C-alpha cells in the first residue's frame, strides 16, 4: 500500500472520529417542582410522590435515575435492551417499558439560541410542540452526547430532543394533562462511573409495565 493511500485512510478515520460527539459521563442532580392540573391532586402531592430531587448517572448510553419521591424510587435504562426498568416503592417487582414505543407525537420542533443561563452555562432551547403538550429543553454543548446512542429511544420524544441538541438537558419544562414539571440542574459532575451502577439487582422479579 502506498504512503498516499495510507495517509488518505488515516485522514478518513480521523474525520470519522472527529464527527462523533463526545458523550458526557457522570452525574447530574436536578431540582424538580410540579404544578398540578388536576382539581383533586395538589402540587405538594405530586412533589411527594415523584420527588423534588433526582440524581441522573450517565455512561455510554446507559443511565440511572434515583428520586427522593415516596412512590417512584429509581429507573435504569439499559442501551443493549432499549428498555427502561422502574422501581416503585409499593412493589419489589421491576416494571420494564420498551423505549422504542412512543404514544406521543411531535408536531413541531423549534430551536432558540442562548435562551437561558443555568449554572453559569449559556444554554440553547428546544421546544417540542406535542400531542401531549409542550416540552421545553435547555442544553449546552459542554454536556454533549452522541445522538446515535439514543436513536431508538422514542419514548417521551427523547430521541427527537437528543437528535436536535446532541446534548443532555440542564433544564426541562414538561407539560402534560396531569401537571407541569420544571426540572433544573443544581449540580453537574463529570466523573468515571462503574458499569455495575447500571445492572439490575440479582434475582429481581421483572414484569412488563401495565402503565
Give the residues across from 189 on adjacent strands. 27
Dihedral angle over CA of 23, 173, 127, 150, nearest 10: 30
User: Does residue 6 register a pLDDT over 70?
Assistant: no
Supply the pLDDT for residue 210.
85
Answer yes or no: are the C-beta atoms of 168 and 158 closer than 8 Å. no
In this structure, what are the phi and psi dihedrals at residue 96, rounded to the nearest 5 degrees? -100, 150
User: Does residue 140 register a pLDDT over 60?
Assistant: yes
Express each pLDDT in 91-130 by its tens digit. 999 999 999 999 999 999 999 999 999 999 999 999 999 9
Cell of 29: 442532580
- Rounded to whole angstroms, how far apart are CA atoms 108 and 161? 11
Banded model confidence at residue 211, pLDDT cuts 50, 70, 90: confident
Helix (H/G/I), strand (E/B), else coil: 26: strand
Mean pLDDT within 144-159 = 96
Banded model confidence at residue 21, pLDDT cuts 50, 70, 90: low
Supply the pLDDT for residue 22.
76
Q: 42-80 burial string, b = 16+ CB within 10 Å, else e? A: eeeebbeebbbebbbbbbebbbbbbbebeebbbbbbbbe
Banded model confidence at residue 10, pLDDT cuts 50, 70, 90: very low
Express each pLDDT in 59-84 by its tens digit. 999 999 999 999 999 999 999 999 99
H or E segment to which residue 107 belongs: strand 106-118
Domains observed in the chain = 21-208 (2.50.20.10)
Half-sphere exposure of 209 (CA within 13 A, CB side): 15
- Rounded to whole angstroms, how far apart are CA atoms 164 and 184? 20
Amino acid at each position: 500500500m502506498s504512503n498516499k493511500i495510507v495517509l488518505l485512510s488515516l485522514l478518513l478515520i480521523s474525520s470519522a472520529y472527529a464527527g462523533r460527539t463526545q458523550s458526557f459521563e457522570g452525574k447530574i442532580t436536578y431540582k424538580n417542582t410540579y404544578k398540578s392540573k388536576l382539581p383533586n391532586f395538589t402540587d405538594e402531592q405530586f412533589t411527594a410522590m415523584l420527588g423534588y430531587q433526582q440524581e441522573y448517572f450517565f455512561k455510554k448510553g446507559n443511565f440511572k435515575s434515583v428520586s427522593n419521591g415516596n412512590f417512584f424510587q429509581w429507573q435504569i435504562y439499559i442501551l443493549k435492551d432499549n428498555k427502561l426498568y422502574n422501581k416503585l416503592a409499593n412493589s419489589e417487582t421491576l416494571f420494564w417499558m420498551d423505549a422504542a414505543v412512543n404514544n406521543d407525537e411531535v408536531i413541531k420542533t423549534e430551536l432558540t439560541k442562548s435562551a437561558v443561563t443555568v449554572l453559569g452555562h449559556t444554554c440553547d432551547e428546544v421546544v417540542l410542540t406535542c400531542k401531549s403538550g409542550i416540552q421545553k429543553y435547555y442544553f449546552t454543548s459542554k454536556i454533549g452526547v452522541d445522538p446515535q446512542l439514543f436513536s431508538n429511544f422514542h419514548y417521551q420524544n427523547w430521541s427527537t430532543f437528543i437528535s436536535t441538541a446532541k446534548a443532555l438537558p440542564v433544564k426541562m419544562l414538561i407539560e402534560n394533562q396531569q401537571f407541569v414539571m420544571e426540572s433544573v440542574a443544581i449540580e453537574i459532575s463529570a466523573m468515571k462511573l462503574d458499569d455495575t451502577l447500571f445492572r439490575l439487582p440479582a434475582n429481581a422479579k421483572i414484569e412488563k409495565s401495565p402503565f
